[in-house]
Amino acid sequence: MRVAVFPGSFDPITLGHYDIVERAYPLFDKIIIAIGQNSQKKYMFSLEQRMHFIREVFKDFPNIEVDHFEGLTIDYCHSKNVNFILRGLRNPADFEFEKAIAQTNRELTKNNLIETIFLLTSAGKSFISSSIVREIISFGGNYEILVPPAVRVAPKTK
């Protein structure tokens, strides 16, 4: 069974994230959208709110699971017996950053290889990032055009 983990903070999930998952969906038997928790990071939306957003966005996708984890993504993948990590690339800077992580993961998992699969974000969504969305929300701007409907109607929570 081909199972991929799509890790991220998803604070909040954007149309860019949606684009990657929607296009990867036919490639895998199951996709686990896994929210990584970083105790050093301040989130705009609570873990529960982010999980709710994602579940709502993908409620019509039966082979998508939503989960959360702390620690290294590769450790999470091992715990779920998953051999693929799904990542989206928006620009060359994303590629360089993600390439370094993927190569490190390969070194750390030589005996139990976890392969990273990169998908390019569609051109019309390549400028969208969660940090940009959070900035727009914090200043009361029109963030609704950058996120799925489930995020558009949800109030910001802590």
Q: Per the residue annotation, which of 2, 23, 30, 41 is the catalytic one?
A: 41
125 is in an annotated binding site: yes
130 is in an annotated binding site: yes
135 is in an annotated binding site: no
Cα distances (angstroms) measured from residue 55 to each of 35, 45, 65, 85: 12, 15, 8, 19
**Whether residue 17 lies in the annotated active site:** yes
Beginning with the edge strand found earlier in the chain, give each strand of the sheet holding 84-89 in spatial order: 64-70, 30-37, 3-8, 84-89, 115-120
**Whether residue 90 lies in the annotated active site:** yes
Q: Per the residue annotation, which of 30, 39, 130, 134 is the catalytic one?
A: 130
Query: CA 24, CA 148: separation in Å to the nearest integer?
Result: 17
Lookup: tokens for 88:
């989206």
Under 8 Å CB-to-CB from 8, ≥6 apart: which residues? 17, 33, 34, 35, 36, 130
Nearest to 66, CA basis, from 80, 84, 78: 80
36 is in an annotated binding site: no
141 is in an annotated binding site: no
Lookup: tokens for 80:
């779920």
99 is in an annotated binding site: no
88 is in an annotated binding site: yes
157 is in an annotated binding site: no
89 is in an annotated binding site: yes
Can you tell me which residue has the tokens 């715990």? Answer: 79
Annotated binding site for substrate: 9, 41, 73, 87
Annotated binding site: 9-10, 17, 41, 73, 87-90, 98, 125-131
Residues catalogued as catalytic: 17, 41, 90, 130
Annotated binding site for ATP: 9-10, 17, 88-90, 98, 125-131
